[in-house]
Amino acid sequence: MRSDIFRRAWRWLARPGVMAVLIAALLAVMLTGAFLPQLPEVAPGTAQLAEWQALAHARYGSLAPFLEAAGGYRIYRTPLLWVPLALLAVATLSCMVQRWKGYWRAAFGQPARLSPKGLRETTPDAASHSFIVEPSSGHAPARLDARSGMARRALERRDYRVRAESASDAIWLLGDRNRLSRMCTLAEHLAVLIVLAGVGLSLVLGWRETFTIETGGTAEIGHGTGIALGNHGFAIERYADGSPANYAAQVTVESGEETERREIGVNQPAVKRGTRIYLQGYRPVPVGDQYAVTLLAVHDPGYGVAVGGGILFLVSVVVALYFPRSSVHIRISGDGTLRLAGWADRRAYTFDREFAGLVADLRGETDPQSQDPAPPGPE
């Protein structure tokens, strides 16, 4: 009984409608988190927490306590995000597991021998032609081999990978091109799983800390990094009108017994042990021409994973769109009939013209007495 329930739930999650709802729910939660300020990881009762709560109350007024109680300020660390994220990952995995055999069979297991009905069928993305090449009486195996070689060469000139099956009275050829594009759907599902895994890693293991350091002061990043930062100077380059053109902080990065001097500027972070340190801001201090700098330390182990998944998804979409799978079936029978059927995924551009050209080439090479060089129309 439990196995039946699990199997039904497993199949139900793979439905496109269910996945669409999960994606919409996940996007809604993430957009909500993008519009609401998210509370940094600070200890309860600290001055930083009180300052942050005061700013939130000034911004949202009477709604601030409700948003805090509902988890709006911690939405990335609540079940509101985790539940649809986990369900979407399981649904994507279910879809892959249930469909990979079909895609694999379509890419690598398509038989060269096609039924007469299949050779005659015409679909919106298919072309089908039939014509007499060289009528003959009786069985002529030598001529079958010669015609098979001619047809194979015609397909290979158009970059088709050719497979053959033979019988006593006929030979079947299958020409495949870009057959791996059928696997792009699985690659796209895998890419989604990788992106979701990256998001999960960032939520579980990632963190960010903001701290302000006075001139000559130091601060420890924490989180087990063993990294301490020191502020040893701040320089501002100004335009002629006195407005800031560029600024950079001279920071020492201490890790154990190792100390490095780094310059952290706009869009020029320092990287140490997987932690990126950004210059977020500065403010002058009353003593002399000195500045306190505000630094942001970010540790995001899922970033590279998510970017890799995004690249895989983009490559898969490009391959599927610009390198569609095309296949041509040819049956050469002993009575001299050459019958062809061709298909292309997503109505591949110019496939009809290419197929008509293949028919014309075959007629020209195998039926030199033919006075009509144009290919016949569809059956």
In tens, the pLDDT along 93-107 reads 999 998 888 888 888
Residues 6+ apart with CB under 8 A from 362: 133, 150, 151, 154, 338, 340
Write the pLDDT tens digit of every residue in 53-79.
788 888 888 888 888 887 888 888 888
pLDDT of residue 315: 95
Residue 130: band (very low, low, confident or very high) from pLDDT cuts 50, 70, 90: low
pLDDT at 345 over 60: yes
Write the pLDDT tens digit of every residue in 170-214.
888 999 998 888 899 899 999 999 999 999 898 888 888 888 888
pLDDT at 120 over 80: no
Residue 307 contacts residue 277 (beta carbons within 8 Å)? no
pLDDT of residue 111: 82
pLDDT of residue 378: 42
Two tokens, residue 58: 């000034």
Report the amino acid identity of residue 138. G
Distance CA 337, CA 140 (A): 12
Q: Where are the domains of the chain?
A: 2-104, 110-178+324-366, 212-291
Overall pTM surpassing 0.85 (yes/no): no
pLDDT of residue 135: 47
Across the chain, mean pLDDT equals 81
Identify the architecture of domain 110-178+324-366 in CATH.
2-Layer Sandwich (3.30)
Higher pLDDT, 197 or 109: 197
Dihedral sign computed on CA atoms, order 287, 238, 261, 272: positive
Q: Which of 92-106, 121-135, 209-223, 327-341 has the lowest mean pLDDT?
A: 121-135
pLDDT of residue 134: 53
pLDDT of residue 245: 81
